[in-house]
Chain A
């Protein structure tokens, strides 16, 4: 509650609080292990959401995604006033990268695992994001859905090469089978390719922010995702559960771990 004082007249004005509705869901799909880790937290008009998709065989992926989520969540939680949020996100990405790089197995050997990360911080109606890898952040406003970050995979490299004339269309087509290979992730030890918006995105009432691992968008098209979210109105938890359920429903086999964090801002 905010108040204003005037001489000896106490005037208390009650502002409608900004609200953020949050929903999270994470499924194993048809895989043996859950290598995704997620986190979402709302405090007044501020929020954080994180989705990490780990890889590395046996327990490696799980350990990596866990470590990254914990690292960022603890840092956000522990700070009273972050200040420069993009700078904070960049530093935390580098810190998490180091942590994952140095993870060890029971024998004390390097775990050699990695993880993607998508994270958003909402503060005072401003949206900041971080992405390393091929998990995605979608913004939904009205009837429009938009993925805000580039996927850090081989396709990115191929597109650049095609554009600059280093490869032909035929060569591009030949390479497409490998296009999904990740080229940036936490755990490299020297991660440099990451998406962070320097300028905050100004949120409007009823904007929806959706974070997901690739399991979601490999099963559902953007229009399908938009439709499902809209059908759930203001119930973000329902939206999250519906999304993962439908992603699984799309495939009889071969459904990857799928995780989503979805939040809607409600401003008066």
Chain B
């Protein structure tokens, strides 16, 4: 292993420097609890350098010998409770009293893996590839994301991200969170610019679901580790605070505020009376009032008075041609995404009618009977629900995602879809409202 680089895993390591990627020895700082470099886990993962560590665990860069891919490996290491001896891999609990805390902690840690597994299909969420137990602790393996986080992106732009681009990024993250909230019943609880990454191919990844919790769980009121001051709403400072989707709403709005002005908000407990809060429209003229108001409402300190749902926040954030309720046939909004040069659409193919609706990429579009509840109204048949199904085009995966939310069902290839589950469709494929009430086809135009 002498010539293996702990960062890129190429065999170009010599004299403490890698000639391929430039990684240098000593760059990551000393971490006394870390696994030995290049030890092998689960029979396939080679442990590389430390990417980060916190109160709960250590994240390493790793190499999957089975798939020959670089990945990220997260290990559960609760600092107050365990120790590891030099050269050994086993983790030891430091005292008998800590045993049960350690067991509980392992369970909670694995919940992050389970949460991510549950959110599979949402493009902005990191994929969990594997999880296992070893060395008396637990691990899970994720895609290694190459890209920059929003803090780094701000630096690239000289201090603040241009408003339009920033709002598109935030809306993308907001849509992802809305799905996590409504479909996975999960909220993130740690949204900040360093948890949002722009990948090399222009996509967006939301990382570090380590604080995430199931909404329905009775563990709702558990504590979070050290907070992100400036993004965390007041309810996160208390171990008995009620947290919910509105917690993520605040954090996302605070993130937008920061990336677009270059200045972080004061920690929420210090924001009494909002005396010094300057609305965005007063700081950045190009931001429309509607968007500035949406942010102000999302930053209300009191969780009961704040914007409750991510969907509402995102709708307020949208700049041009946002999909406000009252849509019908026609353009369902514009929004662009990096690297986009296709126009996805959905069309009604039946009864001599040819109606086509263009879709905004990566934005959830509703199909149903009511103009108030849906963006696309194929017709008025009573058997179709007011909001029957949702569809969006994922520009990274390059496929359509369909979700049934109806009374009578949505059908794909004759099979009734499981309500709430995300199904993928390729361009040219068809699905039906009800068994055959309206037959819709998806496609893309270049």
Contact = CB atoms under 8 A, between A and B. Distances in A.
B223 A183 contact: no
Contact of A112 (B223, B267, B269, B305): B305
Q: Give 6 closest A-B pairs by Cβ, nearest first.
A: A57-B273, A165-B80, A181-B269, A183-B238, A57-B275, A56-B273
A113 to B, nearest CB: 7
Interface residues of A, number: 37
Main secondary structure of the interface of B (DSSP, over half): loop
A111 to B, nearest CB: 9
A114 B239 CA distance: 19
11 contacts: A112-B300, A113-B273, A157-B238, A157-B239, A166-B78, A167-B55, A167-B226, A181-B267, A181-B269, A184-B240, A187-B302
Query: How would you classify the secondary structure of chain A's contact residues: helix, strand, loop or mixed?
Result: loop
Contact of A181 (B101, B225, B237): B237
Interface residues of B, number: 34
Nearest to B82: A165
B273 to A, nearest CB: 2
Interface in B221-238: 223, 225-227, 229, 234, 237-238
Contacts of B238: 152, 154, 156-157, 183-184, 193
B241 A183 contact: yes
B223 A190 contact: no
Contact of B223 (A56, A57, A160, A182): A160
B270 interface: yes
B301 interface: yes
Given A101-B304, A193-B238, 7 more contacts: A60-B272, A113-B272, A161-B225, A166-B78, A167-B55, A183-B234, A188-B302
Interface of B: 55-56, 78-81, 98, 101, 105, 223, 225-227, 229, 234, 237-242, 267, 269-270, 272-275, 300-305
Contacts of A199: none
Nearest to B276: A57
A125 to B, nearest CB: 33
Contacts of A182: 269
B302 A189 contact: yes
A152 B234 CA distance: 13
A194 B436 CA distance: 58
Interface string A124-154: 0000000000000000000000000000101
Contacts of B239: 156-157, 160-161
A165 B269 contact: no
A192 B240 contact: yes
B81 A157 contact: no
